[in-house]
Structure 1
């Protein structure tokens, strides 16, 4: 456990004082005068607050929580982002069909390698991830029906079991960093078993991925199973 003694007994030396002036009247202007503090704690060197001092003051007064600073965007949101709720650190986004490097446990007997994956719908907060498959590459809407994601390690609800993966989603990530982090956690972990007897595809899940790994074909969309869930259900 961290020893907090030094933090609790730290001595802070005053360095600067601010004096605010305001003229008379409802719309009177205001200005700020800055004072340095000498070794005896007395104010000296009065001068108008400089731009640099004002910038330091703004930085010092940024008292918002880390949660308030999370899920900001570094620019215009990508069209793959469907929904955000910063108060819950929650994002819903989608990815189009592509090829991904996939890893499987030795128990499955499936070699690691590149494989085609279907369009996917992702729903995550800082602690958990749910994934689903989509029927096509078009941008979905709240009425879009979802399919079970055709992977191992996923409950029937869509929630992903991350097993022993040490998930660390930072508290000040942009939306872009947040979504990328979850995608990397998901595909860089080892797929190893079906959960609670849930088979997410119409056929044999092991045989499906044996055929897809290092193959050049696209994902067979007729293997997907409907969930009865829509994006609107995930938002509520």
Structure 2
């Protein structure tokens, strides 16, 4: 089949990609169908697994057609995946319904936050803390983010968080707001996520009094940026 779009050179349709999903659209696969003409009519061949050559061609064509500005804080970009650094800043924390009554009294107050690393993959959000102020590299050690609602894998619990519908550099503020506008109710695992010599309530009171979240209050996560970007903990 030949389609002349009026652009040199003319393009030809030779392959169709069809997405097959279950009724909910949550699971499925993509099949590749060759196209040809028979007696002047288009014919689509049976489907087969998408070849690496087709995948490479799609990525190559997309790379040629689109360029996206990358802000300074972005440390890695992948297919439906993004990692970025959020500098220390003050944030309002929501503790409505927190199981610790002393922590619940902090609901809605503004506190200094540590330097953070967010990694979003599809609908999943992971969070770590960073010490220092240089741009992180592959061997940069990560720390635990000192928050409720974060699992031992550093995956953020769904909770009341409303995840953005898109994932790109322009949506970074939406992802950060989605995390901080959710209610921090209770620890998601048994691991102590801060090294401050006191309770969670005392930690945030101390951060407010100091005007900053001190690096020495962070707990090493036992992993590096390279491992975290690769899907490890």
Same fold by TM (over 0.5)? yes
Residue in 1 aligned with 2:116?
Answer: 120
- Partner SS, residue 117 of structure 2: strand
Residue in 1 aligned with 2:143?
Answer: 147
Residue in 2 aligned with 1:103?
Answer: 94
CA contact (8 A) 2:164 2:175 kept: no
CA contact (8 A) 1:93 1:123 kept: yes
Mapped to 1, the partners of 2:210 and 2:78 lie a distance apart of 38
- Picking from 102, 106, 125, the partner of 1:129 is 125
Residue in 1 aligned with 2:228?
Answer: 234
Mapped to 1, the partners of 2:180 and 2:5 lie a distance apart of 56
- TM-score normalised per structure 2: 0.64
Where does structure 2 lack aligned partners over 5 or more consecutive residues? 11-57
If you compute each CA radius of gyration, which structure gives the higher value, 1 or 2? 1
- Picking from 185, 192, 197, the partner of 2:185 is 192
CA contact (8 A) 2:81 2:120 kept: yes
Mapped to 2, the partners of 1:94 and 1:195 lie a distance apart of 23
Structure 1 residues 216, 175: CA separation in 2 closer, same or farther (over 3 Å shift)? Answer: same
- TM-score normalised per structure 1: 0.63
Q: Within 5 Å, which residues of 2 pair with 1:1-236?
A: 74=68, 76-86=69-79, 89-107=80-98, 108-109=103-104, 110-170=106-166, 174-177=168-171, 179-203=172-196, 204-213=199-208, 215=209, 217-236=211-230
- Partner SS, residue 104 of structure 1: coil
Mapped to 2, the partners of 1:232 and 1:223 lie a distance apart of 23
Deviation at residue 30 of structure 1 after TM alignment: 7.8
Q: How many residues are paired up?
A: 171
